[in-house]
Chains A and B, each alone.
Chain A
């Protein structure tokens, strides 16, 4: 069964600190992996999309990594800001826009 698991479920960090969110997947076939940010009560917004051959991709203070051999990805947030408080969702595309969603990590950045 295709699955995307994220850890931790929730996280609280102090403003200005860094954090790393984890994603493990057992999905086949694999087309690409995406990280989305979802503010409370809003739709998800894409942060990065990585294909099989890409190891790292950055979007400002967000850096995603992908290890296709171990089927793991991480999202690293640098110098966190209060506006980073949101849910972060890892998504694997099996092709044909068939997306398998993780349940997300809820991040709270505290002042």
Chain B
């Protein structure tokens, strides 16, 4: 079974803090994704990575950066957290970018910025 784990289920941070969200997958997948999920908006792609040290912007990259130093680990960084970044953050991984390959999701991190 594919396992995608995220470092925290719940996180509370203050405005202006630097925030790190960590994601680890154990299936040797090339591709990893970061999404945020807000009520009434569905999941939106922030960034994805198709290889170590490679990254591509998604639909809403502003205010975020990512790091992929190892194949199994993909980090999302909020350089200076703001209240509008309060959201559920979901990490996913996939073995291939094309075709009907699954994206496997982690359990999510609910981030509150006060």
How many angstroms from the CA of A42 to the CA of B108 in the assembled complex? 6
Interface of chain A: mostly helix, strand, loop or mixed: loop
Q: Is B103 an interface residue (CB 8 A)?
A: yes
User: Tally of A-B residue pairs with Cβ under 8 A?
Assistant: 56
Give bound CA distance, A32 to B33, whole Å: 18
Task: Kindly state whether residue B45 has any CB partner on chain A within 8 Å.
Answer: yes
On whether the beta carbons of A46 and B45 are closer than 8 Å, the reply is no
> Interface residue count for A (Cβ, 8 Å)?
22
Q: Please measure, in the bound complex, the distance between the C-alpha atom of A103 and the C-alpha atom of B114, giving whole angstroms.
A: 26
Question: Among residues 26 to 76 in chain A, which have CB atoms less than 8 Å away from a CB atom of chain B?
Answer: 31-32, 41-46, 49, 51
> Taking the complex as formed, is B25 at the interface, i.e. its CB lies under 8 A from any CB of chain A?
no
- Nearest chain-B residue to A46 (Cβ)? B102
14 more A-B residue pairs beyond the given contacts A41-B107, A43-B107, with a C-beta to C-beta distance below 8 A: A4-B42, A31-B99, A41-B110, A42-B107, A43-B90, A43-B105, A45-B105, A46-B103, A46-B104, A49-B100, A89-B42, A97-B48, A97-B98, A101-B43
Residues of B within 8 A of A (CB): 4, 9, 31, 33, 40-45, 48, 90, 92, 94, 96-108, 110
Enumerate 5 A-B pairs (CB-CB under 8 Å) in ascending A order: A41-B9, A44-B90, A51-B100, A89-B42, A97-B48
